[in-house]
């Protein structure tokens, strides 16, 4: 099983949705970093399910440190995080046994694990496994913040409803605003419409998806590798590790296809003694290496696969065609919760890249 991400700083995930607990082990951390547990709780709360726009499976998502932390300070040894599963309802899955939920991982899990997988609540494939990712990401994001690196994500669009765009002049203020919001939109009245759209989908026994847009400010130039471990490859590998992510694009992304080179290029200039670009169509990365401009990428989150409508499927043990009706507790949209996971995976990836360049102790603010 390949459940470890990273090189210098690694995060290993474990657990199943209906097991006793889920968690992760973070290795390669610097020693002597004081974790802001209040900030950690706020980050966990951004992913937690609340209200009618999320799954009815509400959990406290309380983070327990099993090792690697003494008196709130990292020891530099493996930091093990445990989050208890306290609200499982496994009977929801008894009528679904051996049926492949369309869009979910039940059939591929069967092919990969030969009948020994636990598919209840999505098993190891569950969105639930993103809770420890957010915990690990929060700790690393706190370290990056000490170096002036700021990460923020908004719901750029949800089922066709578009949020306002980031504006170059007030990027930092917009990012701070987003990080303080439970529902990550720049325009709150658009946010209301999006939440209405999620409730509408749930009422019609359906689900919706959308696009998340992430910006990273304060990332230095010169980080990354030219080909295989390019900044784009590492960040997209991180994004594709998040369940329900089906596409990632940097800068103008697929819109580059419609542009001339003269429109796609970012002209350079010297501003206050620094090399900058006048535009940022390339999303802060050239040749796989950061260029010091804000990193900008978009991630598409598909509609939740488990919907209550009747669907066609198969029983993969009896090899018969059949129909499936899913009556459990599911998110009518994943996107507003996935935003915290995208931020976390961004922090994990950038912390790993920076620790590879400068050494792990640099992360806590030492050269």
Ligand X SMILES: C=C(O[C@@H]1CC(C(=O)O)=C[C@@H](OP(=O)(O)O)[C@H]1O)C(=O)O
Ligand Y SMILES: Cc1cc2nc3c(=O)[nH]c(=O)nc-3n(C[C@H](O)[C@H](O)[C@H](O)COP(=O)(O)O)c2cc1C
Q: Which residues bind ligand X (CB under 6 A)?
A: 17, 49, 55, 57, 59, 88, 92, 121-122, 126-128, 131, 243, 328-330
Q: Which window, 154-162, 216-224, 255-263, 326-334, contacts ligand Y (CB under 6 A)?
A: 326-334
278 has binding-site annotation: no
One of 9, 10, 33, 55 touching ligand Y (CB under 6 A): 55
Q: Output 83 or 248, the one with its CB closest to ligand X.
A: 83
Give the one entry of ligand X, ligand Y, none that residue 92 binds, where binding means its C-beta sits below a cut-off of 5 to 8 angstroms depending on kind. ligand X
Judge whether 147 is annotated as a binding position: no
Are 26 and 11 in contact by the 8 Å Cβ rule? The answer is: yes
Residue 19 or 253 having the CB closest to ligand X: 19
> Among residues 96 and 178, whose Cβ is nearest to ligand X?
96
The yes or no reply on residue 241 touching ligand Y (CB under 6 A) is no
* Number of chain positions touching ligand Y (CB under 6 A): 21
Read off the DSSP letter of residue 121.
G
Q: State the nearest-atom distance from the C-beta of 106 to ligand Y, in Å.
A: 9
Based on CB atoms, which residue is closest to ligand X, 105 or 149? 105
Cα angle: 52, vertex 53, 55; to 5 degrees: 80
Q: Which of 160, 180, 147 is nearest to 355 (CA)?
A: 147
Number of Cβ atoms within 10 Å of the Cβ of 98 = 16
The tokens describing 304, both together, are 């939740």
Measured CA to CA in angstroms, residue 354 lies from 18, 220, 256, 367 at distances of 36, 9, 29, 12
Asked if residue 358 belongs to a known ligand binding site, the reply is no
Q: Find which of ligand Y, ligand X, none residue 334 binds, CB within 5 to 8 Å per kind.
A: ligand Y
Q: Which stretch binds ligand Y (CB under 6 A): 153-161, 193-201, 210-218, 302-310?
A: 302-310
Helix (H), strand (E) at residue 210: strand 210-217
Task: Determine the Cα–Cα distance for residues 104 and 311; give it in Å rounded to an integer.
Answer: 13
Binding to ligand Y (CB under 6 A): which residues in 124-153? Answer: 125-127, 130
Q: Is 281 known to sit in a ligand binding site? A: no
Q: To the nearest whole angstrom, how small is the minimum distance from the Cβ of residue 34 to ligand Y?
A: 28
Of the candidates 3, 2, 7, 1, the residue with the CA atom closest to the CA atom of residue 351: 7
The nearest distance, CB 54 to ligand X, in angstroms, is: 8
Among 18, 337, 339, 360, binds ligand Y (CB under 6 A): 337
Question: According to the annotation, is 116 in a ligand binding site?
Answer: no
Joined tokens for residue 34: 């004081």
> Bridge-partner residues for 257, per DSSP?
none
Nearer to ligand Y, 33 or 125 (CB): 125
Q: Which of 195, 290, 299, 304 binds ligand Y (CB under 6 A)?
A: 304
Whether 226 has a binding-site annotation, put simply, is no
Residues 87-106 that bind ligand Y (CB under 6 A): 104-105
Spatial CB neighbours of 151, under 8 Å, sequence gap ≥ 6:
141, 144, 175, 214, 215, 216, 343, 346, 347, 350
Is 240 marked as a binding-site residue? no
Tokens of 26: 């973070």
Burial 165-186 (b: 16+ CB within 10 A, else e): ebeeeebeebbebbbeeebbbb
How wide is the angle at C-alpha 272 spanned by C-alphas 268 and 273, nearest 5°? 75
Those residues whose C-beta lies under 8 Å from the C-beta of residue 339, and which sit 6 or more positions away, are 46, 153, 154, 155, 184, 212
- Which CB, 238 or 242, lies closer to ligand Y? 242
Q: Which two tokens stand for residue 31?
A: 């020693």
The annotated binding site for NADP(+) is made up of: 47
Binding site for ligand Y (CB under 6 A): 55, 104-105, 122, 125-127, 130, 242-244, 302, 304-306, 330-331, 334, 337-338, 341
């Amino acid at each position: 099983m390949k459940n470890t991400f990273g090189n210098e700083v690694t995060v290993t995930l474990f657990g199943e949705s209906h097991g006793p607990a889920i968690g992760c082990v973070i290795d390669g951390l610097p020693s002597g970093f004081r974790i802001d547990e209040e900030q950690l709780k706020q980050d966990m709360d951004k992913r937690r399910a609340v209200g009618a726009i999320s799954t009815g499976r509400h959990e406290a998502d309380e983070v327990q440190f099993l090792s690697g932390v003494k008196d709130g300070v990292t020891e530099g040894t493996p930091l093990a995080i445990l989050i208890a599963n306290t609200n499982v309802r496994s009977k929801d899955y008894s009528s679904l046994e051996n049926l492949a939920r369309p869009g979910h991982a039940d059939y591929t899990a069967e092919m990969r694990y030969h009948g020994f997988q636990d598919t209840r609540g999505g098993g190891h494939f569950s969105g639930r496994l993103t809770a420890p990712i957010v915990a690990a990401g929060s700790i690393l994001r706190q370290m990056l913040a000490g170096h002036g690196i700021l990460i923020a994500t908004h719901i750029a669009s949800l089922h066709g409803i578009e949020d306002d765009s980031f504006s170059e002049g007030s990027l930092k203020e917009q990012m701070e605003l987003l990080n303080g919001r439970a529902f990550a939109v720049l325009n709150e009245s658009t946010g209301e419409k999006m939440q209405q759209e999620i409730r509408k989908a749930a009422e019609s026994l359906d689900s919706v998806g959308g696009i998340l847009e992430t910006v990273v400010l304060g990332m230095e130039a010169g980080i990354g590798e030219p080909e295989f471990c390019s900044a784009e490859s590492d960040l997209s590998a991180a994004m594709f590790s998040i369940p329900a992510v089906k596409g990632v694009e940097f800068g103008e992304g697929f819109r580059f296809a419609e542009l001339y080179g003269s429109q796609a290029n970012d002209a350079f200039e010297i501003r206050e003694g620094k090399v900058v670009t006048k535009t940022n169509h390339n999303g802060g990365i050239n040749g796989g290496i950061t260029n010091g401009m804000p990193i900008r990428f978009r991630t598409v989150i598909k509609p939740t696969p488990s919907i209550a409508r009747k669907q066609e499927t198969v029983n993969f043990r009896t090899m018969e065609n059949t129909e499936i009706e899913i009556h459990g507790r599911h998110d009518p949209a994943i996107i507003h919760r996935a935003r915290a996971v995208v931020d976390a995976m961004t922090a994990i990836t950038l912390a790993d890249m920076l620790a590879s360049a400068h050494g792990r102790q640099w992360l806590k603010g030492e050269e």
